[in-house]
Amino acid sequence: MTEDMVLPAQHNPVTVGEPLLEVSGLTKYFPVKGGFPIRRTIGHVQAVDGIDLTVRVGESFGLVGESGCGKSTTGRLITRLLEPTNGSISYRGQDISHASRRELAPVRSEIQMIFQDPYSSLNPRQTVGKIISGPMEINGIEPDGGREKRVRELLEIVGLNPEHYNRFPHEFSGGQRQRIGVARALALEPKLIVADEPVSALDVSIQAQVVNLLQEVQRELGIAFLFIAHDLAVVRHFSQRVAVMYLGKIIEVGDREAIYTRPRHPYTHALLSAVPEVSLTDDGDSAGRERIRLAGDVPSPISPPSGCRFRTRCWKAQDKCATEEPPLVQISGNHAGHLTACHFPEDPTTEARDEDIVLDPALAALEEEG
Ligand SMILES: Nc1ncnc2c1ncn2[C@@H]1O[C@H](COP(=O)(O)OP(=O)(O)OP(=O)(O)O)[C@@H](O)[C@H]1O
Ligand code: SF4
Ligand SMILES: [Mg+2]
């Protein structure tokens, strides 16, 4: 990325480190229909259940958790593709939780989304030029020198050949398509990008390149990111702060250092030990790491366990865990900003344990046989 390609200064500058997006008590319940002959609402999927988070100007915030824990729903609520059931979303001090289409218009261009699947998220019948200039067209934005010039600049910023302006998505590889998605997200000079598993559909060999591009964009253009991933390996090099989600709740949040070296929640420990270091990491030394394997599946978000939602899979669960929901707070021993929702937290270390903790009895039995 060359210097003259840096996006022009924003009209209403906000200072790095200030809160950009503040989410409080955010909740999304999807109705579950059933019954015959009259279909009624018979329950709710508690996809996101009262989460708080703050993304600061220019910061990269990682949101991590297993499949189905509510990460995409959170991203879609923030970008207002979904209407929240409860709670508030405030962007630069303005409450946008239930803002109308018209009220949202100026904010919409500042918050953009990059999707997981670079195949389905690009219209196959449109040229790359048309796709990338789409957001400018919709918002009636005519950059200096015209839209085509701007698209060529954007193509160059994301590492694609500006001459490929007239090509169609199928002429590009998966990694290149995701670069097109990034260019489209950059077209309106956003201040916040919600990237929903932007590399998990890509070949491992090209994941790092796309992560590097996003990192460059984040740093050089000062764009804040909410980076969604299902494991901790990808966000490790990308996010200054990380929140871990489980069944619709944030169970631990802190700066990168705290989450990776001093995790307190058993689930964060499990995620850290279950995830193999992937090629994205250059300092991945997993030798001597404790190994915890999680038993069973994530319970249904239609009727989550009482008290602590992780208790059905937790090796430290006691009676209190079933009756009292642990609040997300700064527990004793944590530094400021490191919050954990657990009654019986782990020690703040990832030191090797002598034994392998195997939480799945079937797996343990198999290993004994073998
Ligand atoms: N439109 C919808 N209607 C009903 N249920 C939904 C809807 N969208 C999501 N859900 C449910 O809400 C829960 C959270 O889904 P969500 O897609 O947010 O999870 P996720 O963490 O992004 O998972 P993944 O890692 O698989 O992408 C899941 O149980 C899902 O089935
Ligand atoms: S509150 Fe109890 S069940 Fe939940 S994570 Fe902590 S120890 Fe485990
Ligand atoms: Mg998802």
In whole angstroms, how far apart are CA 336 and each of 258, 262, 330? 10, 13, 7
Residue with the smallest CA separation from ligand 2 atom 1 is 342
DSSP result, 55-109? EETT-EEEEE-STTSSHHHHHHHHTTSS--SEEEEEETTEE-TT--HHHHHHHHT
Residue with the smallest CA separation from ligand 2 atom 5 is 342
| Positive or negative: CA dihedral 100, 105, 110, 115 | positive
Rounded distance between C-alpha atoms, residue 151 and residue 41, angstroms: 47
Taking domain 19-239, whether its CATH number is 3.40.50.300 is answered by: yes
Q: Which of 308, 234, 323 is nearest to 267 (CA)?
A: 308
* Ligand 2 site-directed mutation target among 292, 331, 343, most atoms within 8 Å of CB: 343
**Cα of 265 to ligand 2 centre, how many Å?**
8
Q: Answer yes or no: are the C-beta atoms of 181 and 114 closer than 8 Å.
A: yes
Q: Tell me the ligand closest to 340's alpha carbon.
A: 2
Q: Answer yes or no: are the C-beta atoms of 125 and 208 closer than 8 Å.
A: no
Residue whose token pair is 């030798």: 287
Domains of the chain by residue range? 19-239, 264-369
Verify whether ligand 2 is closer than 6 Å to residue 344 (CB atom). Answer: yes
Q: What are phi and psi of 297, to 5 degrees?
A: -95, 165
In whole angstroms, how far apart are CA 81 and each of 77, 111, 206? 6, 11, 29
Verify whether ligand 2 is closer than 6 Å to residue 342 (CB atom). Answer: yes
Per-residue pLDDT of the chain (370 residues; tens, 9 = 90+): 444 444 444 444 556 679 999 999 999 999 999 888 889 998 999 999 999 999 999 999 999 998 899 999 999 999 999 999 999 999 999 999 999 888 888 888 899 999 988 778 899 999 999 999 998 998 888 998 999 999 999 999 999 999 999 999 999 999 999 999 999 999 999 999 999 999 988 888 888 889 999 999 999 999 999 999 988 888 888 899 999 999 999 999 999 999 999 999 999 988 887 655 433 334 444 444 456 667 677 899 999 999 999 999 998 999 999 999 999 999 999 999 999 999 999 988 876 443 445 455 444 555 555 4
Find the helix or strand (DSSP H, E) in which 205 lies: helix 204-221
Verify whether ligand 1 is closer than 6 Å to residue 76 (CB atom). Answer: no
Verify whether ligand 2 is closer than 6 Å to residue 311 (CB atom). Answer: yes
* Ligand 1 site-directed mutation target among 72, 81, 200, 228, most atoms within 8 Å of CB: 72
DSSP letter assigned to residue 302: T
Helix intervals (H) in 226-314: 232-236, 256-261, 266-274
